[in-house]
Amino acid sequence: MHKRVYFDTNVIVDLFDEKRPFHAYSVDVFKTIFENEEIDVFINTDTLTNLFYILRSHIKLSLDDAIEKLEFIKNIFMVVGTQLNEINHTIELCKKHIFKDYEDGMQYMCALKEDCTLIITNNPKGFKNASIEVVTSKELSELWLRI
């Protein structure tokens, strides 16, 4: 069982947008993981920035509702900060074409920094070169249903 799990931003967005195709799976994974108090869960500071932007501009939440969602996520996840070291490593990963998307590369660096053994994402293509196990919320949800 994984004890340190990193959530990609898209899974967090799925929690709040019922129109997204992975919404139900992401909610299921979220509930299951948070029922297990032995699992540490992580996001990075960029996730909060991106989430707020998406809640306001795409989902069209009011300022107060967006802030409420942001505070909820901030309070239940361990938020990983990024330093120049992680930024430089992520840029190098992108220069070497190990990661083609800077955001995915940064999330990967934060997962490594926190010794996570699992990344949950609904865009696994972005993490195809990761040395950490990567799974979608759908795959994880279906796996738990079989157990």
Residues 74-103: what's their mean pLDDT?
96
- Our measurement of the distance from residue 12's CA atom to the centroid of its chain's CA atoms, rounded to an integer in Å, reads 6
Interatomic CA distance for residues 65 and 63, integer angstroms = 6
Residue 77 near residue 116, CB atoms below 8 Å: no
Residue 44 Ramachandran class (φ > 0 left, ψ -120 to 50 alpha, else beta): beta
Domains of the chain: 4-146 (3.40.50.1010)
Q: What is the mean pLDDT of residues 35-57?
A: 94
Give the global pTM.
0.93
Beta bridge partners of 4: 40
By percentage, how much of the chain surpasses pLDDT 90?
A: 89
Nearest-CA neighbor of 67 among 21, 16, 32, 18?
A: 16
